[in-house]
Each structure stands twice: as C-alpha cells, then as structure tokens.
Amino acid sequence: MAGRIVVPKLRLVCLLLSFAIVPAFQATAQERIVLDIRGVVERPAFYYSGDNALAVVLAHQSGLDAGSWRPLAERLLNEGISSVALTSTSSDDVLAAADFLDSKGHENITLIGASIGGGAVLHAMSRQDPVSVKGVILLAPADGHALQSETRRKLFVVAMEDFFAGRTYSGFDKAAEPKVLLEYPGAEHGQELLDGPHGENLIGAILKFIKG
C-alpha cells in the first residue's frame, strides 16, 4: 500500500523515540573486495560483514565516495546487517554487489541509492529482477526507470525544499505499490539528510524498513 509520511520539526523527538535508536559502537569490520563486472572489469568495493541474512548495497551520490557511507554502514553492522559500499555508481556495480551478497548467503537484500546512485539502482532494477533483493530505498534519486515490481518494497526519501525534489515525487508517483514516501523539512539533498537535523530519524526509518 502506498503511504506518505511528512516529518514536521516539532514531532521529531517523538518519532526518534518510536524508532528506538541506539548509539553505534566504534568497531569497524570493513573489508576491501573486488566486484566482477560482467566478467570483463573488476572494481573495488567495501564489504561490512554482519551476522544475519539482511544486507544492503550502498550507491553514493555525485561528489561523494564509498567512504561517505561508513557511518551508516557501521550503524547497520551494529544491527548485524551486512553492506557493500560501491566505489563506482553504475547499474553494473549495483547488480554485481547484489550478486556478491547473495553468494555470501544473504537472502534479504536492500538497495540504497542517493541521487545519481539512486538512478543507478533504478537502472539496475529495470535490467534484472534479483530474487534476493527485497527492498529499495531511494534518497532523492536521479531520474530513472519506474519501479514496477509489485512485491518489492520501496521507500522514497526527500527534503521538501531540495532543488531536485520533483524527481523524487515523480519517481514515487510512477512506482508500483507497495511504496512509501518519507518527506523531511529542509533543503538537504540525498545523503546530506543523514548528516542533517533529521539524520537520526532517517537512520531509524532505514533500519525499520530493512528489517521489514
């Protein structure tokens, strides 16, 4: 079922409590891996190995790199959730990372893409339909193919004053259900939301979505 959640400033504290955020630990278990891209190219990525079936692919926005996901990857790891942070945000890399996680026994994978990384996720899902990919989270995604799967859960996230907000609203409108639109006040774009005043709330929403 489609849903729309608008986060007002005055309700932020209540929402944070409802998501039950806990502080992250300081340990890191980051491993440099190599992704096989169509059997032709090898590209590096970073793997955070958790201890359950849940896993995430992280595709960053323009101007950032794989390291920009490290704080979120460590929060996920604190919950036993594995992740792969891409160094290149192409649809090939997204699919290769999903294949890698599947080979590690992760049966419930969520793709997270921000801005241009979100566009890569949209393109990847238009090319293939991996059974192990159960959900997609898009942070102010670039334009891309509509998500048409009626079984894969979808979470669209946007700051209402983001200059590129229209792309998120358009993508949400075109996507098949089940889908949810999470709107925040402010003008932060993509991953900037994670570092902004609503960052803890967004991380809580991401964790809740991944855990289903």
SS3 letters across 42-109: EEEEEEECCCCCEEEEEECCCCCCHHHHHHHHHHHHHCCCEEEEECCCCHHHHHHHHHHHHHCCCCEE
pLDDT of residue 80: 96
Q: pTM of the entire structure?
A: 0.90
Residues 25-53: tens digit of each pLDDT: 444 679 999 999 999 999 999 999 999 99
H-helix or E-strand spanning residue 173: helix 165-174
Question: What is the pLDDT confidence band of residue 2, given thresholds at 50, 70 and 90?
Answer: confident
Kindly list the structural domains of the chain, giving each domain's residue range(s) and its CATH number in brackets, ordered by start.
Answer: 3-211 (3.40.50.1820)
Q: Percentage of the chain with pLDDT > 90?
A: 86
Q: Are strands 30-37 and 41-48 parallel, antiparallel or unpaired?
A: antiparallel
pLDDT of residue 18: 38
Residues 159-171: tens digit of each pLDDT: 999 999 999 999 9
DSSP count for the chain of H helices, then E strands: 7, 9
